[in-house]
A = this chain, B = another copy of it.
């Protein structure tokens, strides 16, 4: 069975609290383990979450503010410590290159962990493909924060759902089905069968991760039709002025944009320390959207079942 779920590592914003570690999350997607915004303490939160640093395959940074990246050196060093010499792919806004350089060389390690750097520059708000592996694409779009910032989207390629009754009616079974899926058609004793005759389209699943930002077109484009949308939610509606000034979202805005974008499930994190509880965030966003989860540290939230 495929494993597609979000593991929340930390849910604070800049200031951690007794109950909230600095931001961080892991997307488990089949064999991929994508670490998103490793804030300070991520190495230990991974331990608490039962996810090994060595298992991480890719790391995405939305931006280079400390609460979103200070856990990077520890995670990289821990991989070495655990005996992993496999390089990890690191994606980040190209404008943050100098900080990435310093973070990677910030301590007196004998061996520098191997990293494949992917500095990313994007144009307009429409998400652009940054990388591609297996049946997945990684896309990025600009956020509107106080420093250059990117939101991330993991997009599964569209596929098909085979219809067993139609396959049977055309006498198709076994290896012929594999060839049909691979080649788009297959020749049988009764003639050519096209894939679309025995299947219906199966849209790929999608996930988006949006941290520090104002409401902007990039967020809307990233969130469009995703199965799981994770957004920051630093403030509440009555703090909209603070949100605007510091370039953050309110829970109200997050719920509204998830609803407008047709995102199926919304996970909120990155909460201001001024609000010790999380229910207030869920309630506010829930006025606009029916499936809102205000995350606590170490929560696991699955992608909803395929449509």
Does A250 interact with chain B (Cβ within 8 Å)?
Answer: no
State which residues 50-77 of A face B: CB under 8 Å: 63-66, 69-71, 73-74, 77
- At the interface with chain B, which of A41-49, A151-159, A177-185, A253-261? A41-49
Q: Is A7 an interface residue (CB 8 A)?
A: no
Q: How many copies does the complex hold?
A: 2
Bitwise, A104-120 to B at CB < 8 A (1) or not (0) is 01111110000000000
Q: Which residues of B are found within 8 Å of A107, using beta-carbon distances? A: 64-66, 69-70, 99, 103
Choose among B66, B81, B110 the residue that contacts A73 (Cβ–Cβ < 8 A).
Answer: B66
Question: How many chain A residues have a CB neighbour from B under 8 Å?
Answer: 37
The verdict on A106 contacting B99 (CB below 8 Å), with A14-B81, A40-B43, A74-B40 known, is yes
Q: Is the interface of A mostly helix, strand, loop or mixed?
A: loop
Chain B contacts for A69, CB-based, 8 A: 106-107
Is A248 part of the contact surface with B, judged by Cβ < 8 Å? no
- Tell me the nearest residue of chain B to A12, going by C-beta: B44
Instruction: Please report the C-alpha to C-alpha distance between residue A41 and residue B78 in the assembled complex, in whole angstroms.
Output: 15
Distance of A47 Cα from B103 Cα, bound (Å): 24
